[in-house]
Amino acid sequence: MAGFPTDIAIAQAARLRPIADVAAELGLSPDEILPYGRHKAKIAVSPERDTTPRGRLVLVTGINPTPAGEGKSTVTVGLAQALRRMGQKVLVCIREPSLGPVFGVKGGAAGGGYAQVVPMDEINLHFTGDFHAITSAHNLLSALLDNHIHQGNALGIDSRRITWPRTIDMNDRALRSIVVGLGGLNGGPSREDRFVIVPGSEVMAILCLATDLKDLEARLGRIIVGLTREKKPVTAGDLQAAGAMTLLLKDALLPNLVQTLEGGPAIVHGGPFGNIAHGCNSVAATRLGLSLADIVLTEAGFGADLGAEKFFDIKCRFGGLKPEVAVVVATVRALKMNGGVKKDALASPDVAALGRGMVNLEAHVANVRKFGVPVVVALNRFATDSDEELALVLDSATRWGARAALSDVFAKGGEGGEAVGAEVLQLLAAGGASFKPIYDAKLPIKQKIETIAREIYGADGVNYAPAAERAIAQCEAMGLGETPVCMAKTQYSFSDDPTLLGRPSGFRITVRDVYPSAGAGFVVALAGDIMTMPGLSKTPAATGMRVLSDGTIEGLS
């Protein structure tokens, strides 16, 4: 947008409230927050506080992402600002950004324009150290595992069947496949290894699903690090690692309190990716938020085929959550890309292409409604959108059985989200949500995968590589057959082929491998060519970042 200030410029110009004042708006006393500077804090509620969830939960999700941008995080924050302006006691609960995307291409996860959570630079960078704690806990387990083998391997771990990787919060394709232990007799056993990015670590998933320290330690102890020569699972508990890992994570488990640009409370906690992990902020943060506010807005990663499905089938199942409304974010620009328009031609009106691309939005709306949750379509407005294009999307969404409204929160903040806010409030007032996961967790693993593939992706069926067949049998033999499934696939398409845009049909999903996340409580199915360690682009965002002599940051988004 020509002449419009950058996200970081807007954030740095904001006048923030003291974090104690933000906490007081939620009814939190000064003794219930642990300040990290002036504008962020951990929440540590008193044992006497009743934390029973009473508020109403609203999910914000979206269409499949495109290079045109959708603005899901921006709408989430802007809608919270709008509802607060409309007199609601509202709280936004979103994920923490990963340094990998911040320095890569995608950018941070603090919103944009005049709909941000702040301090934006601190949230996008080191924040309160949660990601560092997760990295340390994860790699401590890696170190203990290799040390156990070096010190005699009393558990009989087969070094060819070690499944626990190492982790780093950076996009680094060179770490996808490595060899460790090349330092001779004192350098530890030599073996193949790999790194995953921190948002894809099982420790991240565990932190986001744990309810308290006791549950956290129990989940950490159930992590499977590999197999013995007899193919029996070896766990972090067997390595006596869970206690020390919990020690590293005890503060990271506490939700982080910050504020929106308009001074409203926001909890930013946990950060699993939606394409390779379950893509939702922590259960602890959401449940706490529901005890402090009347309405809680939360976001799920990437499109509804990934983030919303996992939010409903994994997070809500484990957290006992009952969402009452879902907001599906779309843009005319992104829908035109789904209709075949190239990025450099998106500024020109093209109603025909928009009509072709709207099948993507239609499918997401239909999928969310399959979970028994009513839908509001938030059409994020761009200056180049024509009135005819906007009307076509809004009218179509209404015809599909959803409510719909324009969102202009990027340029106008909360004021630009009041139309969407009014639709959300009308649905909450009407009630009628009947949330239910789309599959029974007790079904066999293959049947759960195929339910997701057919019902959510629109696939004709699922093909399984031989490695996946063996892994499924192994998971079921380990007692993990009756857990939810976390699908890891491309975010760009309903299929496992990122080039198939719109609403593809006549395809099958290929599952190449399945692995257990026993501590998190689910199994992960890898579809297509999805990677658990991203790489940097030819021109990473990091190359355009710097700090001026007065401390002003440039290039962060």
- Overall fold of domain 445-527: Formyltetrahydrofolate synthetase; domain 3 (3.10.410)
Percent of residues in the chain assigned helix, strand, coil, to nearest 5: 40, 20, 40
Asked if 371 and 534 count as a contact pair (C-beta separation under 8 A), the reply is: no
Average pLDDT (166-186) is 92
132 by Cβ neighbours in 10 Å (0-12 / 13-18 / 19+) ranks as: middle
What's the pLDDT score for residue 2? 57
Query: For strand 522-527 and strand 508-517, is the pairing parallel, antiparallel, or unpaired?
Result: antiparallel
CA distance 211 to 150: 35
Sign of CA pseudo-dihedral 354, 356, 357, 363: positive
pLDDT tens figures, 231-289: 999 999 999 999 999 999 999 999 999 999 999 999 999 999 989 999 999 999 999 99
Mean pLDDT of the chain: 95
Assigned architecture for domain 7-128+252-430: 3-Layer(aba) Sandwich (3.40)
Question: Tell me: the pLDDT tens digits for 480-495?
Answer: 999 999 999 999 999 9
Report the SS3 class of residue 517: strand
The CA distances from residue 90 to 263, 301, 425, in Å, are 12, 21, 12
Question: Domains of the chain: which residue ranges?
Answer: 7-128+252-430, 130-249, 445-527
The region of weakest confidence among 93-97, 180-184, 343-347 is: 180-184
CA 220/CA 91 separation, integer angstroms: 30
CB 307 within 8 A of CB 368: no
Q: What is the homologous superfamily of the domain 130-249 according to CATH?
A: Domain 2, N(10)-formyltetrahydrofolate synthetase (3.30.1510.10)
b vs e for 6-43, b when ≥16 Cβ sit within 10 Å of the residue's Cβ?
ebbebbbebebbebeebbebbebeeebbeebeebbbbb
pLDDT reading at 1 higher than 70:
no
Residue 334, CB half-sphere, CA atoms under 13 Å: how many?
23
Q: Cα 249 to the chain's mean position, in Å?
A: 19
Whether residue 119 is preceded by a cis peptide bond, meaning omega within 30 degrees of 0, is yes
pLDDT range class, residue 533, cuts 50, 70, 90: very high
Cα separation, 466 vs 152, in Å, equals: 33
